[in-house]
Structure 1
Amino acid sequence: MIDATKALLSELIGFETVSADSNLEMIACLAGRLEDCGAKVEAMIDPSGKKANLFATLGPERDGGIVLSGHTDVVPVTDQDWHSDPFVMEERDARLYGRGSCDMKGFIAAAVTMAPEFAAQVAERPLHFAFTYDEETGCVGAGHLVQTLKERGLKPRMALIGEPTSMRIIEGHKGCHEYTTRFHGLEGHGSAPDLGVNAVEYAVRYVARLLAVKDQLRGMAPVDSRFDPPWTTVNVGAFQGGSVHNVIAPKAEVAWEMRPVQTSDADFVKQHLQAYCRDELLPLMRAVYPDAKIDTEVVGEVVGLVPEDSNEARRLLMDLTGANSAELVPFGTEAGLFQSMGMDVVVCGPGDIAQAHKANEFVAVAQLEACLGVLDGLAGKLAEL
């Protein structure tokens, strides 16, 4: 089984599914494999027509059963120092190198390789495969998929999200909210600053307020928070604006994110910044230039995975792996979206998150073998789900 998984993983790595590009060739490849196993397959095309989610079902089309989910997109390789072609899988020292090998085409390859065994074992409840687009840019595809399934009234019982966790069971993670805030001022000569509205200067003030809020959030952590760190975090990821030394910058933008541990923190941050712009920054800008603006684009607001006292997916994975506990992680996944449908959800997959997004990304062969072992155990329990 490991050789077949390696072969499929090699094929999947060869599809250059960077989030900015199409994933349709990879979706077609996976769809064909699953159709050959008798699955009912549907490619859900996005509004651009260039990307798609894949939703496939083995067994009866009814409520219950389990979803095996992974995202098809990968991050760019631009300006990374790879030792081999990132889109050609290379095996060295019991590791499989290539973009997406760890995050998260390794899991997808293992799950699809196991499809014939699943098809032979599935009984009264279905097994679904959900492979999404644009996870790396805000879990856009998963959001569309979940909304579609809700509209259809389909209610799977549980979901396994195969993000790289070194096959540890993850039952919770923070949300991930990403924003781009843009400042529109008035250009002018640097020698007459009072006659223009310097967008860079107002963006700097905005960042300073963001950092003050960031410090304030440290004291708002729930007493029983299990996250590390236990509070909601804020990160300023990019700042752009201006052109030369002696021109008042008419435009600037700030790319930032927060990882809330609770919904009230996210509401606090957004309301505070909205009030700051409305009551302080914009009046100053518009006193000089009435058309000045501050706009915030919501890139993505992905809900977290909330740890639950009762979680059938956690119990199942503990049984399959032999683990006696589940953990929390700081990074985000699509898991919370599936949880919003009422499913019990865990994150567990091959590879180490430390390898994700880096040059020379790899998944250890031993990790793929461990994943195949868990999926084989799952096949033997399908009749019980």
Structure 2
Amino acid sequence: MDRLENTIALLSEFVAFPTISSDSNLDMIARLANLLEQAGARVETFHNPEGTKANLFATIGPERDGGIVLSGHSDVVPVTDQEWTHDPFAMVRRDEKLFGRGTCDMKGFIAAAVSMAPLFAQRARTRPIHFAFTYEEEVGCIGAQALVESLKAKGIRPAVGIIGEPTEMRIIEGHKGCCEYTTRFEGLAGHGSAPDRGVNAVEYAVRYVARLMELRETLKTRAPHNSRFEPPWTTINTGAVHGGIAHNVIADHATVDWEMRPVQASDGPFVRQDMQAYVNDVLLPQMRAVWPDARIETETMGEVGGLEPTETNEAKRIVAELTGANDSDVVAFGTEAGIFQSMGMDVVVCGPGSIDQAHKADEFIEISQLSRCLDMLERLAGKL
């Protein structure tokens, strides 16, 4: 079986693991560990506190600093309420495309990297090649944050990271951060005929969202003059509002799920401090004037820093040589790249498939994209 067909076979196997972020990824991690060990890699797994999920970190080549990391997340987004034309966890090959949940985002890259492990084992003499496969990227990059701490504790210091998110094999040297929050409102229930006697949590949640929308417009004026992002400013999105039980009942509970994607580090504190001041100075005093026990609390679901473009970037140089690309770009979507950059690594995002196919029904990756990725990795093997 040639390398491309082997990669396709591995991808089919990986898609069959239903590693939705809310569920365990242990079976897939065990299979990845087995494959890499067969190729001669030194493999370690790091479990989450509950023991239900794990990160994998494997190394081929000499035990020394300065290695190159190939990184991908094992989890996928849910398929609930999506109209798939086939079983999302049984890969289908049709018209030179591979359909299935995770084919594009991002088990295609994982399959390509693992398929190349035997060649890396033959070639890696002067520089180690590392494999980093994580959990819960789709819900706040939780696994990658834990993995970085594990690597720091062990004194493992790679120099370069290639994050294989779907970029159509373009080099991405920067992306925005992603900060997700849930704000909960607790008011006082009552009969809808006497709204002044209760504290309507839904109404205060609506006012909170209105403030977020005002800030969204303000952020447009804070865009750096040289921003390469599209849009060039920090964005805010209200993802969901929940609350209330009936037309004639004053709602005593409500929640707002919202996010922002900072284009510069200073925008995060700017938004958080403004919203907290609005809560403390305006909303809460009005709520507590009616009911002293009213509350508004914000839970941080995840705060992931962006990937900052840097003047010198060894990862960018290496991948440009491997792919023949003469340029690089920035994107609005987030990845784990900034987390690895925080270790002092030079990092780029480059992988097979298009982000346009991610998270959708009938997600797919073009076979030609996998072939291009394998070509890049084969050239990388020649540089180890």
With normalisation by structure 1, the TM-score equals 0.98
- The residue that corresponds to 2:239 in the other structure is 237
Which has the larger displacement, 181-190 or 151-160? 151-160
Aligned-pair CA distance for 1:364: 0.3
- The residue that corresponds to 1:371 in the other structure is 373
Structure 1 SS opposite 2:266: helix
Q: What is the distance in 1 between the residues matched to 2:59 and 2:106?
A: 20
Aligned-pair CA distance for 1:250: 0.5
5 Å matches for 1:3-42?
3-42=5-44
Structure 2 SS opposite 1:112: helix
Gaps of 5+ in 1: none
Aligned-pair CA distance for 1:147: 1.3
Letter in 2 for 1:321: T
Percentage of identical aligned residues: 66
Structure 2 SS opposite 1:31: helix
- The residue that corresponds to 1:251 in the other structure is 253
Letter in 2 for 1:363: I
CA displacement, residues 58-109 of structure 1 (integer Å, 9 cap, x when unaligned): 1222211100000000000011111111000100000000000000000000
Q: What is the distance in 2 between the residues matched to 1:233 and 1:169?
A: 23
CA displacement, residues 142-189 of structure 1 (integer Å, 9 cap, x when unaligned): 000011112222210100000000000000000000001010111111
- The residue that corresponds to 2:223 in the other structure is 221
Which has the larger displacement, 86-95 or 283-292? 283-292
- The residue that corresponds to 2:79 in the other structure is 77
Runs of 4+ in 1 over 4 A off after TM superposition: none
Structure 2 SS opposite 1:263: coil
Q: What is the distance in 2 between the residues matched to 1:27 and 1:151?
A: 21
Q: What is the distance in 2 between the residues matched to 1:381 and 1:29?
A: 28
5 Å matches for 1:270-309?
270-309=272-311
5 Å matches for 1:153-232?
153-232=155-234
Structure 2 SS opposite 1:295: strand
Q: What is the distance in 2 between the residues matched to 1:21 and 1:60?
A: 35
Q: What is the distance in 1 between the residues matched to 2:275 and 2:43?
A: 44
Structure 1 SS opposite 2:188: coil
RMSD: 0.6
Q: What is the distance in 1 between the residues matched to 2:262 and 2:26?
A: 33
Q: What is the distance in 1 between the residues matched to 2:326 and 2:311?
A: 15
Aligned residues, how many?
382
Aligned-pair CA distance for 1:51: 0.4
Q: What is the aligned counterpart of 2:88 among 68, 86, 96?
A: 86
Structure 2 SS opposite 1:155: coil
Aligned-pair CA distance for 1:3: 0.6
Structure 1 SS opposite 2:213: helix
Q: What is the distance in 2 between the residues matched to 1:25 and 1:2?
A: 24
Structure 2 SS opposite 1:261: coil
- The residue that corresponds to 1:323 in the other structure is 325
